[in-house]
Amino acid sequence: MEIFTGWAATRCAFIQLHGGQIHNLCQGIRNFVVGITVKVASDETTLRKEKTYINKLNLALVQVSMYL
């Protein structure tokens, strides 16, 4: 998860510098992270069991959202 977070933040920073249609890629990363978060958090049992994973997904979402 740390590798994904670092990759997403670096990629979005690069996208922000270069702008244009590539900005959509950063939005796609955000939508992907949100989709996974919703899927995992939709079941209360899974949410409790995967709390650390949800926290990491939230951190990744914050990192990506900083560049949108």
Residue 25 · residue 15 · CB < 8 Å: yes
Per the structure, the complete domain to which residue 47 belongs is given by 2-65
Q: What is the pLDDT of residue 16?
A: 60
pTM exceeds 0.85, yes or no: no
pLDDT at 68 over 90: no
Q: What is the pLDDT of residue 1?
A: 62
Question: In total, how many domains does the chain have?
Answer: 1
How many other CB atoms sit within 10 Å of the CB of residue 49? 12
